[in-house]
Amino acid sequence: MIERILPPAVVVEECFTDPAGLTLHPAEEPVVANSVPKRRREFTTVRHCARRALSRLGLPPAPILPGVRGAPSWPAGVVGSMTHCEGYRAAVLARVGAVASVGVDAEPHATLPDGVLEAIALPAERARTAALAATDAAVRWDRLLFSAKESVYKAWFPLTHRWLDFAEADITLDPGGTFAARLLVPGPRLGGTELTTFHGRFLVGQGLVLTAVAVAAPSG
């Protein structure tokens, strides 16, 4: 499903349930040793997706451990992102050189809890979201904005190894299925050029909101 909003260079593996009989790599076991069953199932299934994606890239299975700020630590030569929510898990991977960075997020297609939009959105973003909702009430634009911010952060962090606050990127959603995140802080440099905007795509369907940002690798 999420492959529809990602470039062909990105390999996608996704699950809509938690298949029985999945096991973790021994190195991953300590991470969820004390977790509740729901957290353990999510963690296990999304890593099952990641190892299937590694296989499709011709790479051996490997542990996917949380690194700095919880970002997944990928094998050398790979960029990727993982996401999970109720009824959906996905891992997306690409070879370094094909894609500089990628970030994906999945959310239930439901209105954000009270107070969340005010906490994560700039005043201009809230105004644009309200205008979109007035035009198309079938889409939960507040949840879509939240998801887009998550995808932007996941694409940003591997390039900078720095935190990006919700208020440090101004996101404009286009009803046609795209979004642009204008960075309000200095961006990473790729091929000698500063990246000032992240461009992404979104999809709404099957009770889900899916967003993706794929940063092209510098040419040459």
Domain 2-104 fold? Ribosomal Protein L22; Chain A (3.90.470)
Which of the residues in the chain have pLDDT under 50? none
pLDDT of residue 220: 61
Residue 68's pLDDT is what?
86
pTM exceeds 0.85 for this model? yes
Instruction: Classify burial at 105, counting beta carbons within 10 Å of its beta carbon; exposed 0-12, middle 13-18, buried 19 or more.
Output: buried
| pLDDT at residue 218, rounded to an integer | 87
Domain with CATH 3.90.470.20 in the chain: 2-104
